[in-house]
Amino acid sequence: MRARALALAASALALGTAGAPATASAQEPYWLDALTVLATKTEERAIDSLAAVSTVREEQIRQLAASRTHQIFFGVPGVSSEATAQDPGTAINIRGLQDFGRVAVIIDGARQNFARAGHDGSGSFYLEPELLAEADVIRGPVANIYGSGAIGGVVSFRTKDVDDILKPGERWGVATAGEIGSNKFSGLGSIFAAVRPNEKAEYIVGGTYRHLDDYKDGGGNLIPNSGETVGTGLAKATFRPAEGHMVKFGGIYYDADWTNGSPGSNVIRDSNSKNLTATANWRYSKPEDRLFDFDATAYWNRVDVSTIATYVEPGYEGFYGPVGNRAGYLLNTGGFDVHNTSRFETGPLRHALTYGGDFFRDTVENTDPGGFGDGYNPSGERSVGGAFVQLKTNYSTWLEIITALRYDTYKLDGVDVTSGDPIRNDGSRVSPKVTVGLSPLPWFTLYGTYAEGYRAPSVTETLISSVHPAPAFTFLPNPNLKPEIGKSKEVGINIKRDDLFRPGDRLRVKANVFRNDVEDFIDDAFVPYTGPFGECPAPPFCARYENISQARIEGVEFESHYDRGDWFFGLSAHRLRGKDLTEGDPLGKVPADMVATTFGVRSADRKWTAAVRWAAVAAKKLNDLPSGTSPEVASGSYNLVNLYLGYQPNENVIAALSVENLLDEEYKVYTHEYNSPGITVKGSLRVRFAGGVPPAKEEKKFVK
């Protein structure tokens, strides 16, 4: 089955696996290439995709023992994050672009559009890594068929499903996991139960519970309020009413508690996030039906973040309200995505024509009766829709051409909190894409791409209107914000060699160079004080989101994986640069240069797996950042070394030990607010029970 193939594909990356059944021989292929639909919405191997695609599968997620979702992208080139230790949310950064939908985050087909402005990213999402089965990343606006706004890229997550619990033929199964960690205390428990009563129906339910105490960094300093408690629930039901048809209903519930603020802060707040995602999907696909390969998803996502002020420094009640002030930020997103692929030939050419459309509406409701939050993250509505058509053409085995057009339109409505005046904004655009791939050798592909993407301004960027606490200054709305347009050029290579040095070994390499020119790039800007009746009526200055006419991000990305069964090796790296071409300043969100390696070994019977991961990250010095940036934002270089040891006596039990930050280095990830944890040891045990394999059918005897 497709899902089982995806699960097996986990070991395609050299981050390693947790082991295979003991009957596997050292000469047998140990892993399958990961499948993805992210680049073109047609199923293909990630290594064959003519785009900068990276995959993370369940085995890698398990070995990384991630406490937060951004940690699963260890070593993925071009991908970083912005986060704070005092909030479990994560904002994903791809090639220096993040926030307000520049990176489209999708969970089980549902867009995650949470975009509350703050110091820890304005595009966070809440997701427990223990729920995950896999994640795919595509870098750049080349996936414009996947929806509006993704001028930086797309991250698509799939949570656990029945095929991640049951093997072919099994009727029921239960998978449990427990983990305990050091560096103060951390604990995780999860359980998932799946049942397949017949071939036309299957169900899965489960949940997780995670608790983290405040941790210490590599210097032994306690990071206050860095702990959190997270509980989740998951349920899915899948039906196959007729041949080729599959209908799936799913729901995810996320509930987290944490405290935001430190001793000496102006305010300390107890915080809670409730995230509810509901999806319904209809899939139709039959190999013999070349006219219809249909996929439709409708979804609803609700993110409700609420806070209660437990301490307010005297004199700051006007900003945060009194102790006990309850504030909330609620985002409801409803939408759908529908597409179909028709396949046909014209002479020696093979074609796949994919066409469809998508739509979502964001409704923001912000309440802060005692403070400034109503204007800082204003209420409003935004509707975004689009349609696309893509033609993928192959000639023989050496030529592939992909052409696509996408039409986007949006409408935004809100109110200037200060004046009460209505604010409306709208726009539309057609964005093209063309990719040409050449394979002069069976194992080597060269491709070139030109693609454009279109991002509508968000509610917050357009309507923000409030006073920032110390240092005090005024935010101004900007109803005249223009949408961003990303124009990306990319050249890349794919290398896929099997049996290179010995039978059964495999080498995979993806590398690329790119340049993304963004027109009307939206960034925050200072507005000088102009007097009580001027543009900025309040001293000492004001701030608002404005368009930069031209911004450029360019770089080089590389990732490779070699696996020969008894040992494996991976190497990845990126070097990215971003610049405001109008002012000449560097762009502030471009991640530091990175090189990451992985080396692992497996025992002859594949019961034991050991791996070491090392990431060397360069410094982001003050002169690498926009002028006027606070020195506190800069970060030093560091080396992060992680270890993993796994024992799998059979296919149903995995015991593991992991060590994070082995060197106990004191470091801060660039764009993170606090230092990361020091040395942390985690032990885990995963056990699966399953059964109900139907007995072989007895041959009926007929007697005359």
In this predicted model, what pLDDT tens digit does every residue of 250-304 receive, in sequence order? 999 999 999 999 888 889 999 999 999 999 999 999 999 999 999 999 999 999 9
**Euclidean distance between CA atoms 451 and 486, whole angstroms:** 8
CB 701 within 8 A of CB 110: no
Q: Which pLDDT does position 144 carry in this prediction?
A: 63
Task: Round to whole Å and give the CA distance between 113 and 279.
Answer: 15
The 10s digit of each residue's pLDDT in 295-337 is 999 999 999 999 999 999 998 888 888 999 998 889 999 999 9
Query: What pLDDT score does 368 carry?
Result: 83
pLDDT in tens, 555-612: 999 999 999 999 999 999 999 999 999 889 999 999 999 999 999 999 999 999 999 9
The predicted structure's pLDDT at residue 25 = 37
DSSP for 29-58? ----PPEE-TTTSS-EEGGG-SS-EEEEEH
Six-digit token string for 304: 């409700």
Residue 220 Ramachandran class (φ > 0 left, ψ -120 to 50 alpha, else beta): left
Mean pLDDT to the nearest integer, 366-375: 74
User: Taking 90 as the threshold, does the pLDDT of residue 83 lie above it?
Assistant: no
Cis bond before residue 129 (omega within 30° of 0) = no
pLDDT reported for residue 119: 58
**pLDDT at position 350:** 97
Residue percentage of the chain with pLDDT more than 90: 69
313: left (phi over 0), alpha (psi -120 to 50) or beta: beta
Given pLDDT bands bounded at 50, 70 and 90, which one contains residue 121?
low
Residue 31: predicted pLDDT: 57
What integer pLDDT is reported at residue 617 of this predicted model? 97
The CATH number, out of the four listed (3.40.50.150, 3.90.1200.10, 2.40.170.20, 3.20.20.70), of the domain defined by the range 2-691: 2.40.170.20
Per-residue pLDDT at 701 exceeds 50: no
Report pLDDT for 117. Answer: 62
Residue ranges per structural domain of the chain: 2-691
pLDDT over 80 (residue 467):
no
Q: What is the pLDDT of residue 420?
A: 78
pLDDT at 373: 64
427, 149 Cβ separation under 8 angstroms = no
How far apart are the C-alpha atoms of 620 and 613, rounded to whole Å? Answer: 22
**Is a pLDDT exceeding 50 seen at residue 19?**
no
Q: What is the pLDDT of residue 364?
A: 86
- Global model pTM greater than 0.85: yes
Q: Residue 549: is its pLDDT beyond 90?
A: yes
Query: Which residue intervals of 594-693 are DSSP H helices?
Result: none
Q: Which pLDDT tens digit goes with each residue over 624-664?
A: 998 888 888 899 999 999 999 999 999 999 999 999 999 99
118 pLDDT tier (thresholds 50, 70, 90): low
Does the pLDDT value for residue 375 go beyond 80? no
Q: Determine phi and psi for 640, rounding to 5 degrees.
A: -110, 120
